[in-house]
Amino acid sequence: MANLFAGIGTSHVPGIGAAVDKGMSQTDYWKPLFDGYEPAREWLAKEAPDVVILVYNDHASAFSLELIPTFALGVAAEFQPADEGYGPRKVPVVEGHPELAWHLAESLILDEFDMTIVNKMPVDHGLTVPLSITCGQPEAWPFKVIPLCVNVIQYPQPTGNRCYQLGKAIRRAVDSFGDDLKVAIFGTGGMSHQLQGERAGLVNAEFDIAFLDDLTRDVDRLVKISHVEYLRESGSEGAELVMWLIMRGALDDDAKEVYRHFHVPASNTAAGLIILENP
């Protein structure tokens, strides 16, 4: 039987990917951030999941305003790195897990989460930067990846509670998959940041640290954070944190924090990483 054993929350700032790609991760600016990623890389290499369900958002790469799915699940055998305007990142092709992905689609839809099913979807920094953060620069990614793409660009995004409930449904789906697979789930994006407008550069470390704390202490509070509270307190792009709640929902209620790292800034963003494990 498949076993969903742990979750990682992490920011997916494109500048972090660029620092990896350009060999700049040991510069004065980036070193403190990357030093804090090292224990997470060691943990993940040791745990060696077979499959990662990677919750992220697309940034005008695979989807445009022509089509705005709230939750899109990638069921293909592979996903190519997207050209976001610089040419595609030179990172390995992302290999999917069609059998588990289709099982998720079937289970989730019958569980009344109306997923969009995607067979062709280039994946941008939202998905590939978390892989670089947690795996470095391997020849091939060390696990299969099922992309779960969430609309957080067009208001209204799905609510925190809806995301959390989706996480719970993902867990039910994984638990009912017959093959022996070790499965982890990543929730990505955030933490506080505002890219746009005269308020650009907003960071709210207090909000972020309380968010990290309450992933194990008071999930109910996090699930109730409204869109306007995210906008006001964590910046116009801070609502990406709802994607961490999908990850959280998929774990046991009493999941334990095993590691965290928080650093300001990564480009215009407060970068956070947390590892949660089921007991």
Residues that bind another protein (CB under 8 A): 14-15, 59-61, 64-66, 82-87, 153-156, 192, 194-207, 227-228, 231-233, 236-237, 264-265, 267-268, 270
Is residue 108 a contact partner of residue 15, using CB atoms and an 8 Å limit? no
Q: How far is the CB of 219 from another protein (least distance, A)?
A: 23
Closer residue to another protein (CB): 17 or 249: 17
N residues, the chain: 279
Nearer to another protein, 180 or 228 (CB): 228
**Alpha carbon distance 162, 44 (integer Å):** 28
The minimum distance between CB 207 and another protein, in angstroms, equals 7
Catalytic (active site) residue 261: no
Q: Please identify which of the residues 12, 97, 103, 125 carries the catalytic annotation.
A: 125
Pick 109 or 205: Cβ nearer another protein: 205
Triad 266, 233, 68: Cα angle to 5°: 75
Nearer to another protein, 107 or 204 (CB): 204
| Distance spanning both ends of the chain, measured CA to CA | 18
DSSP assigned state of 179? S
Whole-number minimum distance, CB 131 to another protein, in Å?
20
Cross-strand bridge partners of residue 51: 144, 183
- Shorter beta-carbon distance to another protein: residue 9 or 15: 15
DSSP 228-279: HHHHHHH-TTGGGGHHHHHHHHTS-TT-EEEEEEEEEEETTEEEEEEEEE--
CB of 136 to another protein, least distance (A): 24
From the candidates 103, 193, 261, 263, give the one annotated as an active-site residue. Answer: 193
Give the C-alpha separation, 141 to 91, whole Å: 9
Query: Nearest approach, Cβ of 277 to another protein (angstroms)?
Result: 30
Burial 12-51 (b: 16+ CB within 10 A, else e): bbbbbbbbbbeeebeeeebeebbebbeebeebbeeeebbb
Active-site annotation, residues: 125, 193
